């Protein structure tokens, strides 16, 4: 997605060889116009999958997920990050190791909002080693929901999450794939024009 790549080039900050900061439009301040375009792009890529619900992870997945939900016309559920070991009734949950925070979080979704009748599009802001998405996939399995596919705003192609998910036959659509952050520069993977 060309406009997203330009935005990353103009506003992204390369923090290290493995971390990209995009606080100016996605992770702290949010650019609603960019988010709307992202939502529409996800919609065009998953329009024929019969999606009934979008699931994301708080907090940075919510903005792109809501915009996709708006254009697909389906509800959006965000998994909560909580450390509670007790309140596990009526919850689907999974342990997720956070790449950026370097700690484990339990993520959960109420059993009220996911069921075996749902066909779910998972959306997240970044894909690195795949832990966040795999945690969400595990909750879908607990609920018996079907997985339509995964929509990612920025995939870091030099980490192995994308390969793990695609090797499982899952449709992963990343709107920008970063192949390298070496020397303080963002290098994108060549993709089909979008």
| Contacts to ligand 5GP by CB under 6 A | 19-22, 27, 57, 60, 98-100, 124-132, 156, 161
Cβ proximity to ligand 5GP, 47 vs 189, nearer residue? 189
Distance in Å, CB of 160 to ligand 5GP, minimum:
9
Contact (CB, 8 A) for 64 and 42: yes
Is 130 known as a binding-site position?
A: yes
Per-residue tokens: 3: 């406009």
Is 121 known as a binding-site position?
A: no
CA distance 177 to 121: 19
Distance in Å, CB of 13 to ligand 5GP, minimum:
10
Is 29 known as a binding-site position?
A: no
Is 27 known as a binding-site position?
A: yes
Cβ proximity to ligand 5GP, 9 vs 73, nearer residue? 9
């Amino acid at each position: 997605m060309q406009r997203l790549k330009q935005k990353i080039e103009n506003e992204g900050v390369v923090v290290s060889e493995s971390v990209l900061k995009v606080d100016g439009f996605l992770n702290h301040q949010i650019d609603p116009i960019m988010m709307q375009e992202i939502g529409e792009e996800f919609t065009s890529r998953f329009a024929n999958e019969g999606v009934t619900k979008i699931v994301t992870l708080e907090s940075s997945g919510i903005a792109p997920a809501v915009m996709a939900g708006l254009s697909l016309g389906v509800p959006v559920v965000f998994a909560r990050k909580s450390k509670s070991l007790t309140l596990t009734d009526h919850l689907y949950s999974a342990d997720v190791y956070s790449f950026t925070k370097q700690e484990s979080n339990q993520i959960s979704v109420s059993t009220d909002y996911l069921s075996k009748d749902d066909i779910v599009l998972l959306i997240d802001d970044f894909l690195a080693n795949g832990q966040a998405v795999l945690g969400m996939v595990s909750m879908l399995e607990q609920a018996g929901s079907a997985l339509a596919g995964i929509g990612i705003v920025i995939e870091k192609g030099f980490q192995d999450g994308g390969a793990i998910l695609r090797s499982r036959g899952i449709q992963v659509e990343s709107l920008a794939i970063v192949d390298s952050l070496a020397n303080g520069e963002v290098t994108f993977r060549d993709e089909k024009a979008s």
